[in-house]
Amino acid sequence: MDNRQKEIDNLKDYKYGFTTDIENTRAPKGLNEDVIRFISNIKKEPQWMLDFRLKAFERFKQLKEPDWQKPKYPKIDYQDLYYYSAPKSMKDKPKNLDDLDPKLLETYKKLGIPLQEQKRLNGIAVDAVFDSVSVATTFREELTKQGIIFCPISEAIQNHPELVKKYLGSVIPVTDHFFATLNSAVFTDGSFAYIPEGVRCPMELSTYFRINASNTGQFERTLIVADKGSYVSYLEGCTAPMRDENQLHAANVELVALDDAEIKYSTVQNWYPGDKDGKGGIYNFVTKRGLCKGKNSKISWTQVETGSAITWKYPSCILKGDNSVGEFYSIAITNNHQKADTGTKMIHLGKNTKSKIISKGISAGFSDMTYRGLVDISSKAANSNNYTQCDSLLMGSKCGAHTVPYIRNKNSESNIAHEATTSKISEEQLHYCQQRGLSPEEAVGLIVNGFCKEVLQQLPMEFAVEAQKLVGISLEGSVG
């Protein structure tokens, strides 16, 4: 018991809240064409990439910031942000890990993501993104043997322009919504993965995002392409230091699955959520969209959202190929003054397409949580199916839980079923557990884990353990 208590005490506070004291190269403050040229220049990008950015920026200038979302936030001054920040030591890209700034290695070690060969996590290739640049990618040689490309996107633009050109912006076009377009204009780094035809990726690919510098927005871009008959499982983790100010994180993630390919994308999002009074924390406004382009393709999103002051994202699937499958599993937990407006969109275009949505929301403290989702079966998507289940659990009387599903069925041969419930942990359940010797906190932990089980099961092993712990920690102190 003592050990457990100690562990909890250790974890109670945001343990990733430290900052790394490291010298930075920054773009001049503000958002304008020069800054975009600066970013493009420092990354030695070809002309087409710069054109892509400028086109997005042109579009961005015409767009208005959306305000329909539930969690409102004070106006962001887009001119008061740094759009590029990188550790100085990264200016000349280190050839290998030995050249890497020891401070960076230390940071990732502290985060539990060792980058050195001998300590590497078993069977997981990691791309580590620090502020605006990717600092290291592990296991590259082994992946290359199979023809898999896994590298920072800035490198992919240099080395695989034909692939990037073909797929970048094909799912999230430069003319998309406000934040996505902003990202298209100023994105700095992120991961790129290409799985060639017929290859089953032998290990989990993973990106670890870290915001360190203050006053910086992080805009990373991830592009994953699974060619015919391939399979890949991709993990994403994120943390940030504790700061009083709110920081903006507006990433774009694009997935493309061709015929018979499958992409499994898992996120454990643990950005700094702000302190107990809701001061500080990350604004997590992310656009994630997957395109099931080919026949029999499958994209599955799994997310555990515990961090961020405001989470505002809808990982979506466009089911274009016939027989394609989209899945969305989500646990969102808000505590203290956190707010979340999250869900998914399943857009059925092809025949015999199927989608499944399982969303579990838990709100505690003074937090507010919204599930917002769209299921759209177009008139051509004959014989399609959707099943949606979203359950909310309320802990305490000061929090809110909302469900806003949009359901559109234009095809008589297709079925949509939607269910949602909102409740609290019943006295009977608690009583039952306590009667058998569990403390109230343990009882709640057990019940919450059961509530989330369907989603936790979808996570890869290593992540599942972590996520389960995270679920417990995020709700710490909300029982009583």
Partner 1 sequence: MKEQLQKDFDNTIRNLTLSQKDIEIKKFYLDNFINKGFPNRREEDWKFSDLNQIIKKNIGELSFYSDYTSTNKVDTSAFVDGLEHNKIVFINGRIEKIDFDYEKKDQIEIIDQSETINKFNNNSSLSDLNSAFTNKSFKIVVKKDYQLTKPLIIYHTTNSKIWSKNINLRLNFELYENSSLRLIDLFKDTSEKNFLNIFYNFDLKENSVLKNYKVDKFENKNIKYSFNNIEQDKNSISETFILSSGSNFCKNEINCNLNGEYSSAFVNGIFSINNNKHHEIRTIINHLTENTKSYQLIKSVLEDSSRAAYQGKIFVNPKAQKTDGYQLSKALLLSKVSEFNAKPELEIYADDVKCSHGSASGSLSDDSIFYLMSRGLNYQQSTELLINGFLLDVVEKITDPEVKNLIKNMIGIKE
Using CB under 8 A as the criterion, which residues of the chain lie in contact with partner 1 when the complex forms?
A: 68, 379, 392, 394-424
φ, ψ at 71 (rounded to 5°): -75, 115
Q: How far, in Å, CA of 249 to CA of 218, rounded?
A: 5
Q: Shortest distance, CB of residue 354 to partner 1, whole angstroms?
A: 13
Q: Shortest distance, CB of residue 378 to partner 1, whole angstroms?
A: 10
Nearer to partner 1, 188 or 388 (CB): 388
Burial of 69 (0-12, 13-18, 19+ CB in 10 A): middle
Nearer to partner 1, 163 or 404 (CB): 404
* Non-local CB neighbours of 120 within 8 Å, separated by 6+ positions: 114, 126, 138, 139
DSSP per-residue letters across 390-440: EEEEEESTT-EEEEEEEEEE--TT-EEEEEEEEEE--HHHHHHHHHTT--H
Q: How far, in Å, CA of 420 to CA of 242, rounded?
A: 35
What are the E-state strand segments in 185-280?
Answer: 191-195, 204-210, 221-226, 231-239, 246-249, 252-257, 262-269
Q: How far, in Å, CA of 411 to CA of 230, rounded?
A: 31
* Non-local CB neighbours of 391 within 8 Å, separated by 6+ positions: 359, 360, 361, 420, 421, 422, 423, 451
Contact 324, 355 (CB under 8 A): no
Residue 178 identity (one-letter amino acid):
F
Structure-token match 């092993």, residue found = 461
Nearer to partner 1, 297 or 403 (CB): 403
Nearer to partner 1, 31 or 394 (CB): 394
Residue 404 identity (one-letter amino acid):
V
Q: Shortest distance, CB of residue 422 to partner 1, whole angstroms?
A: 4
**What DSSP designation does 350 have?**
S
Q: How far, in Å, CA of 401 to CA of 193, rounded?
A: 36
Q: Shortest distance, CB of residue 380 to partner 1, whole angstroms?
A: 10
Nearer to partner 1, 12 or 408 (CB): 408
Nearer to partner 1, 104 or 399 (CB): 399
Q: Shortest distance, CB of residue 410 to partner 1, whole angstroms?
A: 5
Q: Shortest distance, CB of residue 388 to partner 1, whole angstroms?
A: 9
CB atoms within 10 A of CB 324: 32
Contact 105, 115 (CB under 8 A): yes
Nearer to partner 1, 43 or 348 (CB): 348
Nearer to partner 1, 144 or 415 (CB): 415
Nearer to partner 1, 293 or 345 (CB): 345
Instruction: Report CA 319 to chain centroid distance, whole Å.
Output: 20
Q: Shortest distance, CB of residue 426 to partner 1, whole angstroms?
A: 10
Q: Shortest distance, CB of residue 68 to partner 1, whole angstroms?
A: 7
Per DSSP, what are the bridge partners of residue 348? 319, 377
Q: Shortest distance, CB of residue 440 to partner 1, whole angstroms?
A: 16
Nearer to partner 1, 10 or 421 (CB): 421
Q: Shortest distance, CB of residue 340 to partner 1, whole angstroms?
A: 14
